């Protein structure tokens, strides 16, 4: 019984972790490595697909500038091309063996678009949590039908699963509020 609860809780926690990473890629007008480090690069003549973070060191020089320093200078152009084609709106510039990206300030219209994108990502996370609830509830009902647990245990487990779902959705809403404030305050 407790194993079933722990599994459901762990799956819901994974949703939150994935959502945190996903939200970090939504740019908030200031330079952070998360904006580009997960862009996939067709490296070494297209023979290998690697993320920018696997090919280079990425750091923020200041609040408006990202610096990408490749571990291997031969992939400089490929990283540059991948960033240009990634629909991030960034214009990378190759400068003496590094790539420099100036992050332009966000317009009000772009902020609203990013807030809408954040809401989409949050809703996707909530859907995944609800799917986890559905699976956990089905497992509880199956155990009850198989006479592995009593009706009282079934009711208790369903309540605990619902409490975990409510707590997780509340955490997702909190993440969303923080990201929205970040987007609108810069």
Helix (H, G, I), strand (E, B) or coil at 37: coil
Helix (H, G, I), strand (E, B) or coil at 60: strand
Query: How far is it, in rounded angstroms, from Cα 70 to Cα 75?
Result: 7
User: Within its chain, how far is the Cα of 31 from the centroid?
Assistant: 17
Asked if residues 58 and 103 have their Cβ atoms less than 8 Å apart, the reply is no
* C-beta atoms surrounding 157 within 10 Å: 23
pLDDT at 181: 86
pLDDT at 86 over 90: no
**How would residue 184 be classed by pLDDT, with cut points 50, 70 and 90?**
confident
Beta bridge partners of 48: 43
**How would residue 131 be classed by pLDDT, with cut points 50, 70 and 90?**
very high
pLDDT at 170: 95
Structural domains of the chain, ranges and CATH numbers in brackets: 2-24+107-185 (1.10.132.20), 33-102 (3.30.1360.40)
The CA-CA-CA angle for residues 179, 180, 184, to 5°, reads: 120
pLDDT at 28: 65
Asked if residues 57 and 69 have their Cβ atoms less than 8 Å apart, the reply is yes
Across 147-174, average pLDDT = 93
Supply the angle between the helices 151-185 and 2-24 in degrees, to the nearest 10. 10
Across 13-40, average pLDDT = 82
Residue with the bigger pLDDT between 12 and 90: it is 12
pLDDT at 186 over 70: no
Across 27-35, average pLDDT = 75
């Amino acid at each position: 019984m407790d194993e079933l609860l722990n599994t459901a809780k762990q799956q819901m926690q994974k949703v939150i972790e994935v959502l945190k990473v996903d939200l970090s890629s939504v740019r908030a007008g200031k330079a952070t490595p998360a904006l580009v480090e997960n862009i996939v690069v067709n490296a070494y003549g297209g023979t290998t697909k690697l993320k920018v973070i696997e090919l280079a060191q990425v750091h923020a020089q200041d609040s408006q500038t990202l610096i990408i320093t490749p571990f291997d200078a031969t992939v400089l152009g490929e990283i540059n091309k991948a960033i240009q084609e990634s629909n991030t709106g960034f214009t990378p510039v190759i400068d003496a063996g590094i790539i420099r990206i100036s992050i332009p300030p966000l317009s009000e219209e772009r902020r609203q678009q990013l807030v809408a994108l954040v809401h989409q990502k949050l809703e996707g996370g909530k859907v995944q949590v609800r799917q986890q609830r559905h699976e956990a509830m089905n497992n509880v009902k199956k155990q009850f039908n198989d006479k592995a647990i009593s009706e009282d245990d079934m009711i208790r487990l369903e309540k605990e699963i619902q409490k975990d779902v409510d707590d997780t959705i509340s955490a997702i809403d909190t993440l969303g509020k923080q990201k929205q404030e970040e987007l609108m305050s810069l």
